[in-house]
Amino acid sequence: MSRILVAAAVLVFAGTAQAAGNAEAGKARAAQVCAACHGAQGNKPTAPENPILAGQHQDYITHVLNHYKNGKRKNPIMQAQVKDLKQKDLMDLAAYFASQHALKVKH
CA distance to 11, 44, 101, per residue, from 52 (Å)? 32, 7, 10
- What is the 3 state secondary structure string of 58-91? HHHHHHHHHHHHHCCCCCHHHHHHHCCCCHHHHH
pTM: 0.78
Range of the domain at 71: 2-99
The reported pLDDT for the residue numbered 4 is: 55
With respect to residue 52, please indicate whether it lies within any of the assigned structural domains. Answer: yes
**Is residue 6 domain-resident?**
yes
Q: Does residue 50 lie in a domain region?
A: yes
Cα separation, 50 vs 102, in Å, equals 14
Residues with Cβ within 8 Å of 62's Cβ and at least 6 positions away in sequence, in order, are 19, 21, 90, 91, 94
User: Looking at the 3D structure of the chain, how many domains does it have?
Assistant: 1
pLDDT beyond 90 at 66: yes
**pLDDT tens-digit readout, 74-87:** 999 999 999 999 99
CATH number at residue 11: 1.10.760.10
With respect to residue 58, please indicate whether it lies within any of the assigned structural domains: yes
Q: Closest Cα partner for 40 from 49, 57, 58, 52?
A: 52
Q: What is the mean pLDDT of residues 40-46?
A: 93
In a domain, 104, yes or no: no
Q: Give yes or no for residue 98 having a pLDDT over 60.
A: yes
Q: List all residues 6 or more positions away from 39 whose beta carbon is below 8 Å from its beta carbon.
A: 45, 46, 54
Whole-number Å distance between alpha carbons of 14 and 45 = 34
Distance CA 58, CA 93 (A): 9
Q: What is the pLDDT of residue 2?
A: 52
- Residue 102 confidence class, pLDDT cut points 50, 70, 90: confident
Is 107 among the domain residues? no
